């Protein structure tokens, strides 16, 4: 306790003398940014998951062709989970002598558990948000049902044996899926009316969706207990697995949040490390004096550790408060883009910010503290006596271990932690070696340079260890800024490519070969665009290398889903535009009996190049050899195929065509004409799904842009800390130079050249490192395509040089305006 | 040690009129120097003595233009330091003044030779290296030219500082407790060297010390107490 009291006293004296201001400021900045990002990331992530859960209308869904057992329902009730259900099937509706295949959906009173329904009462009325589905005896329908069946609001629509009053036009349903039941025009009724329709008979093709929502812990427990209870016809769905077009974007956005957090942690660490170094350098004399006065090494260590902890607690508390305000302010800025309800911050992320501050401080302050412990008492007499350096392994090992723990804590992603950690260590060693090499190369050039150039570069070369530590700090800051920018831009580009303007938003299926020409003409006339027609043969994959395919299938896998039903087989002369060949070649010499397989399905079923696949079409069996594997971007929501054959292999089988096209909202009436002219054609509308997707991607983009700005802001704090940390030494040199007669112009030139040089070297190293980390991240973690940005190779070193030179110039401007005596006395 | 030592000739190299320095603190202003008047002619040597905190080093800083007074004037070769800006004072120092500090104040990143060359390079002398090397030879460090301050002992560092002070052949040399950081024997060697170089170059010497014996080697002495000349 005595040590704590003494530590507090000394700390207060340090504070009074202004010694603590810089470290305190650096800590506050670091903890503020860490807390803000931690809270922001936590809240946005929770919000994103909640928002994304809308796409399922629940947190978890069990999809089944039969009602689920009472045990499951009871288990969910026991865990306090909210429950709802929807039942989907197709049904032919006839009104006013018109027939229409409708996607009927019966929903329970609690539906939807997540998200909302939207309806309108006329073309011109604004949309109304509905928390729940139709009342008993009423039905909500999409507008196309009204126009196709010549119906109006308030009239009766008969579904099976039950006549229901059309009370609303349904304009939005959160969990609309891209399958036949969902994409035929929707009629929504209450489950309590379902029995009266008498549509559901034994053997009817029906999909039950049992929906659950609740606390994350309860959901996790439910999921775990539920899995063994499900039979093969029942499937558990959550947002990551079952909406790949959303899940992929969400996962990448979550990783970007993780990456941003790491960036901030790294930067905060470097900022604190730079400031702590200055703090410990300034405390060498105190440590020496304490040794003279009889303190043991252990006492000195205890004393300084207490001081650091006290400082950490104080500054972190202030930082936490400011961080809270900052994230609140940022969320306020984002308010118009985010869903109305933002998830509440968890207490853990607030406390985590506080702990973070203290842990980072100790991680970076402990090694210099260990140095202070070793200060010789003789230093009191000889001020130039340096303490024994702390082991580099100890310093960097401790810092890297702590950072790795923090990164893991933030991301809960071992792979990402390992990737960042290992590339961080490799990058650090590489940076050190490169900086050392570059400075060594400069040395022989010095005698040939003019005085200002020589003196400034001499500073860099002679004080190599100081220069390298600054270069490392600058490079690190610049690297993370570039990394944030690159990943951000590529993510956004990737999403924009996923959803280009006027991406096809309608599918037409079951087009007979003789209809292709006229359908193509009609579509062209209506949309002013060209559509590609894909032939479709329905067939089943039955064996791989003559072994029944069931032997290769694992439960609930993509392979199981693909082999338990008919696949859409197609042929094509060219590789579809969204597909990428990952092995093999597109059709060359051999065109007979060859097939190209989608890569993920191939992995799932263990299909390799050259394997013989057996297919059954109708009653006929045939084989084909795998000649290539393709990567398919399913998230683009374009027609994509597991199996593509070379032309000439499938033409003999009965086939229909599939096409996709873009239709603006105003052109919707064309769909009725199309269905009327070609009754066999099924039209699927994915425009609503695309609109949903666009909304969520826009929100993610905005969020990521703000996170990036925070990263840049944090980057500037490290630049500031690194420059400030070296000011004492530079002020001292400048004061001596002024004493010897150097004028302010010469001093300013020297400072500019020196800092510009530091910036240039740091910029070059930062670009090298950032590009390497980006490649590793894209390749192993984010699964994005890597491409180098040439402009950054020029822009980063030059702008770093300019910005750091300006910061250094202004930081030292005071030196030329203060008398040498004042400077020498203040140091 | 009275005012009688102050020269009254019109050719004074340094002239100080009613010089004062006041520092404002939280508890009120502190008068570090009050009403200092003196004249020093070219080639003379003057010791400033006094107890710690009597204002010796402050007076030296003001005389050399390293700091600005709160009241009064300092003239060097009839140039009023207070009317000059910091750059003009720096130029004046480069042309006329050499310094030796108690804490040596060598630039840590430069070698002994580079430290000594620096004042010559600041006045764009082409022969800086030759002149600096010769002077280092003269102070007995001919074999330590490429050593940095960290590789030199305290006495050696002060000899480098002496060489740097004399390398421009200054008209005035300011020495602030030049032996303060050295043991007695090394200190004595440094003082001998300082006076030898001073005699060789006929430099005007202003020396701050609390060592009365050392002060007696100067032609004149002034004593400060509580910021006032006795």
Residue B9: its pLDDT value, please?
44
Q: CA A293, CA A98: separation in Å to the nearest integer?
A: 102
Mutate one of B59, B92, B107 to test the A interface: name it (highest A CB count within 10 A): B107
Partner residue facing B94 (CB), from A741, A744, A819: A741
HEC string for A509-578: EEECHHHHHHHHHHHHHHHCCCCCEEEEEEEEEEEECCEEHHHHCCCCCHHHHHHCCCEEEEECCCCCCC
- Smallest CA–CA distance, residue A38 to chain B, in Å, is 42
Mean pLDDT of A67-90: 88
CB-defined contacts A:B, below 8 A = 75
Report the chain B residue with the minimal C-alpha distance to residue A738.
B90
Residues of chain A positioned with their CB less than 8 A from the CB of B109: 458-459, 462-463, 733
Interface of A with B in 453-472 (CB under 8 A): 458-459, 462-463
Q: Sorting pLDDT into bands at 50, 70 and 90, what band is B130?
A: very high
| Chain A residues touching B119 at Cβ < 8 A | 740-741
ipTM summary value: 0.81
pLDDT for res A787: 83
Tokens of A454: 């020589």
**Tokens for A722?**
């690194």
How close is the nearest chain B Cα to the Cα of A713, in Å? 33
| Contact between chains at A741 and B90 (C-beta distance less than 8 A) | yes
Q: Which of residues 379-408 of A touch B (CB under 8 A)?
A: 382-384
- Give contacts of B147 with chain A, Cβ < 8 Å: none
Q: Tell if the CB–CB gap between A382 and B154 is shorter than 8 Å.
A: yes
pLDDT for A291-318, tens place per residue?
767 777 777 788 888 888 888 888 888 9
Out of A459, A733, A820, whose CB is closest to B66? Answer: A820
Select the residue of A458, A739, A819 nearest B99 (Cβ to Cβ): A739
Please state, rounded to an integer, the average pLDDT across all residues of chain A: 79
B119, A819: Cβ pair inside 8 Å?
no
Q: What digits encode the pLDDT tens for the residues A466-493?
A: 788 888 888 888 887 888 788 878 877 7
- Whether the per-residue pLDDT at B143 is higher than 90: the answer is yes
**What pLDDT band is residue A230 in, cutting at 50, 70 and 90?**
confident
pLDDT at A182: 53
Answer whether B134 touches A (CB < 8 Å): no
Which region among A145-149, B12-16, B79-83, B143-147 has the lowest average model confidence (pLDDT)? A145-149
Q: What are A5-31's pLDDT values in tens digits? A: 778 877 877 777 666 776 787 778 778
pLDDT at B204 over 90: yes
Task: Give the pLDDT band (50/70/90) at residue B71.
Answer: very high
Q: How would residue B195 be classed by pLDDT, with cut points 50, 70 and 90? A: very high
The per-residue pLDDT for A463 is 76
Tokens representing B160 are 């480098």
- Give the span between the Cα atoms of A50 and B165, in whole angstroms: 74
Domains of chain B in sequence order: 3-229 (3.40.50.300)
- The pLDDT score that the predictor gives to residue A372 is 66
Question: Where does the pLDDT of residue A240 fall: very low under 50, low under 70, confident under 90, or very high at 90 and above?
Answer: low
Residue whose pair of structure tokens reads 């001596």 in the numeric block: A736
Chain A residues in contact with B87 by the CB 8 A cut-off are: 743-745
Which of the residues B105, B114, B128, B164 would you substitute to probe the A interface, choosing the one with the greatest number of A C-beta atoms within 10 Å? B105
Q: With CB atoms and an 8 Å threshold, state whether B93 touches A739.
A: yes
Judged against a pLDDT cut of 80, whether residue A753 lies above it is answered with yes
SS3 letters across A136-178: CCEEEECHHHHHHHCCCCCCEEEECCEEEEEEEEEEECCCCCC
Contact present, A368 and A276 (Cβ < 8 Å): yes
Closest residue in A to B87 (Cα–Cα): A743
pLDDT score at A341: 66
- CA–CA distances in Å: residue B34 to residues A100, A661, B2, B16, B220: 107, 94, 17, 12, 20
Chain B interface mutation, best of A464, A465, A739, highest count of B Cβ atoms under 10 Å:
A739
Confidence band for A388, pLDDT divided at 50, 70 and 90 = very low
Position with higher pLDDT, A81 vs A64:
A81
Are A170 and A140 in contact by the 8 Å Cβ rule? The answer is yes
Contact B95 A741 (CB under 8 A): yes
Q: What is the mean pLDDT of residues A344-353?
A: 75
Most confident of A76-90, A349-363, A718-732: A76-90
Cis geometry, peptide bond prior to residue A481 (ω within 30 degrees of 0): no
Q: Do B86 and A744 touch (CB under 8 A)?
A: yes
Under the banding of pLDDT at 50, 70 and 90, the label for residue B74 is very high
Chain B residues with CB-CB distance to A281 below 8 A? none
- Taking a C-beta distance cutoff of 8 angstroms, is the pair A403, A266 a contact? yes
Which residues in chain B are closer than 8 Å to A736, comparing Cβ atoms? 105-107
Query: What is the distance between the alpha carbons of residues A421 and A403, in angstroms, rounded to a whole number?
Result: 8
Chain-wide mean pLDDT for chain B?
A: 87
Exposed/middle/buried for A317, CB within 10 Å: 0-12, 13-18, 19+?
middle
Residues of B in contact with A744 (CB under 8 A): 86-87, 90
Q: Locate the chain A residue with the closest alpha carbon to B97.
A: A740
Res. A270: pLDDT tops 80:
no
The mean pLDDT of A43-55, rounded to a whole number, is 70
Q: Identify the DSSP state of A12.
A: H
Tell me the chain A residues in contact with residue B99 when contact means C-beta distances shorter than 8 Å. Answer: 739-740
pLDDT grade for A89, boundaries at 50, 70 and 90: confident
What's A781's DSSP letter? Answer: I
Q: Do B67 and A821 touch (CB under 8 A)?
A: yes
The pLDDT-based confidence of A635 (bands split at 50, 70, 90) is low
Are B109 and A458 an interchain contact pair (Cβ–Cβ within 8 Å)? yes
Q: Say yes or no for a CB contact (<8 Å) between B149 and A384.
A: yes
Check residue A218 and give its pLDDT. 87
pLDDT at A181 exceeding the cut of 70: no
| Any A CB within 8 A of B23 CB | no
Tens of pLDDT, residue by residue over A605-628, are 889 999 999 998 878 889 999 999
- The total of other beta-carbon atoms located within 10 Å of residue A516's CB is 15
Is B87's CB within 8 Å of A736's CB? no
Element (H, E) at A721: helix A687-725
> What's the DSSP call for residue A134?
P
∠ CA(A646), CA(A649), CA(A650), 5° rounding? 110
pLDDT tens track for B33-54: 999 999 999 989 999 999 888 8
pLDDT of residue A187: 92
Shortest Cα distance, chain B CAs vs residue A816, angstroms? 8
Residue A667 has pLDDT above 70, yes or no: yes
The pair of three-digit structure tokens given for residue A317, joined into one six-digit string: 């508390």
- Which pLDDT score, from 0 to 100, does residue A827 have? 55
């Amino acid at each position: 306790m005595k040590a704590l009291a003494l530590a507090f006293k000394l700390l207060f004296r340090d504070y009074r003398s202004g010694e603590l201001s810089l470290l305190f400021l650096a800590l506050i900045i670091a903890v503020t940014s860490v807390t803000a990002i931690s809270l922001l990331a936590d809240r946005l992530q929770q919000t994103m998951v909640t928002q994304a859960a809308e796409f399922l209308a629940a947190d978890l869904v069990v999809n089944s062709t039969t009602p689920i057992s009472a045990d499951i329902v009871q288990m969910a009730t026991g865990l306090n989970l909210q429950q709802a259900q929807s039942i989907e099937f197709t049904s032919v509706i006839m009104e006013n002598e018109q027939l229409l295949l409708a996607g009927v959906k019966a929903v329970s009173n609690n539906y939807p558990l997540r998200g909302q329904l939207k309806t309108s009462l006329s073309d011109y009325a604004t949309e109304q948000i509905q928390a729940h589905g139709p009342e008993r005896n009423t039905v909500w329908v999409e507008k196309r049902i009204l126009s196709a069946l010549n119906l109006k609001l308030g009239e009766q629509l008969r579904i099976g044996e039950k006549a229901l009053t059309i009370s609303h036009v349904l304009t939005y349903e959160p969990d609309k899926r891209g399958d036949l039941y969902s994409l035929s025009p929707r009629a929504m009724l209450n489950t309590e009316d379902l029995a009266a329709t008498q549509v559901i008979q034994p053997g009817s093709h029906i999909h039950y969706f049992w929906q659950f929502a609740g606390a994350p812990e309860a959901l996790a427990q439910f999921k775990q207990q539920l899995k063994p209870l499900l039979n093969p016809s029942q499937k558990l769905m959550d947002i990551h697995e079952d909406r790949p077009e959303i899940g992929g974007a969400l996962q990448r956005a979550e990783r970007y949040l993780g990456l941003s957090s790491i960036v901030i942690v790294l930067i905060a660490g470097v900022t604190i490390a730079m400031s702590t170094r200055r703090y410990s350098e300034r405390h060498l004399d105190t440590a020496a004096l304490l040794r003279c006065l009889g303190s043991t090494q252990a006492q000195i260590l205890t004393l300084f550790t207490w001081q650091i902890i006290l400082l950490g607690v104080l500054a972190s508390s202030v930082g936490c408060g400011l961080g809270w305000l900052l994230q609140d302010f940022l969320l306020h800025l984002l308010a118009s883009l985010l869903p109305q309800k933002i998830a509440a911050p968890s207490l853990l992320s607030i406390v985590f910010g506080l702990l973070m501050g203290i842990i980072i401080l100790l991680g970076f302050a402990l090694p210099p503290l260990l140095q202070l412990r070793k200060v010789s008492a003789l230093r009191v007499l000889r001020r130039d006596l340096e303490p024994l350096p702390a082991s580099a392994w100890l310093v960097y090992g401790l810092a890297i271990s702590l950072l790795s723990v923090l990164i893991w804590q933030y991301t809960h992603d071992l792979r990402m932690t390992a990737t960042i950690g290992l590339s961080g260590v490799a990058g650090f060693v590489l940076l050190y070696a490169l900086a050392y090499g570059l400075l060594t190369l400069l040395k022989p050039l010095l005698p040939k340079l003019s005085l200002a150039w020589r003196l400034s570069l001499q500073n860099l070369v002679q004080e190599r260890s100081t220069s390298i530590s600054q270069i490392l700090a600058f490079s690190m800051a610049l690297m993370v800024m570039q990394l944030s920018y690159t990943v951000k831009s590529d993510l956004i580009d990737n999403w924009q490519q996923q959803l280009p303007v006027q991406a096809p938003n309608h599918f037409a299926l079951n087009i007979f070969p003789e209809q292709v020409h006229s359908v193509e003409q009609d579509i062209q006339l209506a949309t002013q665009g060209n559509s590609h027609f894909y032939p479709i043969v329905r067939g089943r994959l039955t064996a791989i290398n003559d072994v029944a395919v069931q032997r290769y299938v694992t439960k609930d896998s993509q392979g199981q889903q693909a082999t338990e039903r008919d696949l859409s087989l197609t042929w094509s002369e060219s590789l579809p535009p969204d597909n990428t060949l990952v092995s093999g070649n597109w059709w060359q010499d051999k065109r007979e009996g060859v097939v190209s397989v989608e890569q993920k399905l191939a992995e799932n079923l263990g299909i390799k190049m050259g394997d013989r696949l057996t297919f059954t079409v109708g009653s006929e069996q045939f084989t084909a050899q795998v000649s290539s594997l393709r990567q398919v971007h399913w998230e683009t929501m374009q027609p994509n195929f597991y199996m593509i054959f070379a032309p000439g292999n499938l033409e003999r089988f009965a086939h229909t065509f599939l096409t996709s096209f873009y239709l603006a909202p105003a052109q919707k009436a064309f769909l009725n004409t199309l269905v009327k002219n070609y009754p066999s054609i099924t039209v699927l509308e994915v425009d609503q799904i695309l609109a949903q997707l666009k909304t969520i991607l826009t929100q993610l983009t905005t969020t990521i842009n703000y996170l990036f700005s925070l990263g840049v802001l944090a980057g500037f704090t490290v630049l500031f800390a690194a420059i400030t940390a070296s000011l004492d030494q530079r002020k001292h040199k400048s004061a001596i130079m002024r004493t010897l007669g150097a004028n302010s112009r010469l001093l300013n030139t020297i400072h500019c050249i020196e800092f510009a040089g530091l910036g240039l070297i740091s910029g070059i190293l930062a670009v090298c490192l950032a590009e390497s980390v980006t490649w590793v991240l894209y390749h192993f973690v984010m699964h994005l395509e890597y491409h180098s940005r040439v402009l950054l190779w020029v822009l980063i070193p030059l702008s770093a040089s300019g910005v750091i030179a300006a910061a250094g110039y202004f930081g030292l401007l005071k030196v030329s305006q203060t008398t040498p005596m004042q400077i020498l006395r203040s140091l | 040690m009275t005012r009688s030592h102050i020269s009254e000739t019109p050719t004074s190299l340094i002239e100080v009129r009613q010089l004062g320095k006041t520092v404002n603190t939280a508890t009120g202003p502190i008068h570090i120097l009050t009403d200092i008047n003196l004249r020093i002619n070219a080639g003379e040597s003057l010791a400033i003595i006094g107890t710690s905190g009597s204002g010796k080093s402050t007076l030296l800083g003001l005389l050399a233009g390293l700091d600005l007074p709160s009241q009064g004037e300092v003239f060097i070769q009839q140039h009023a330091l207070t009317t000059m800006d910091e750059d003009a004072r720096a130029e004046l120092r480069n042309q006329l003044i050499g310094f030796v500090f108690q804490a040596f104040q060598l630039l840590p990143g430069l070698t002994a030779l580079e430290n000594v060359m620096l004042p010559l390079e600041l006045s764009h002398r082409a022969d800086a290296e030759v002149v600096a090397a010769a002077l280092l030879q003269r102070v007995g460090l001919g074999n330590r030219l490429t050593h940095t301050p960290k590789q030199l002992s305290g006495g050696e560092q002060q000899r480098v500082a002496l060489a740097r002070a004399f390398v421009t052949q200054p008209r005035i040399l300011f020495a602030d407790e030049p032996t303060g950081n050295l043991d007695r024997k090394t200190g004595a060697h440094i003082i001998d060297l300082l006076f030898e170089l001073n005699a060789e170059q006929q430099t005007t010497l202003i020396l701050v010390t609390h060592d009365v014996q050392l002060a007696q080697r100067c032609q004149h002495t002034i004593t400060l107490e509580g910021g006032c000349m006795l």
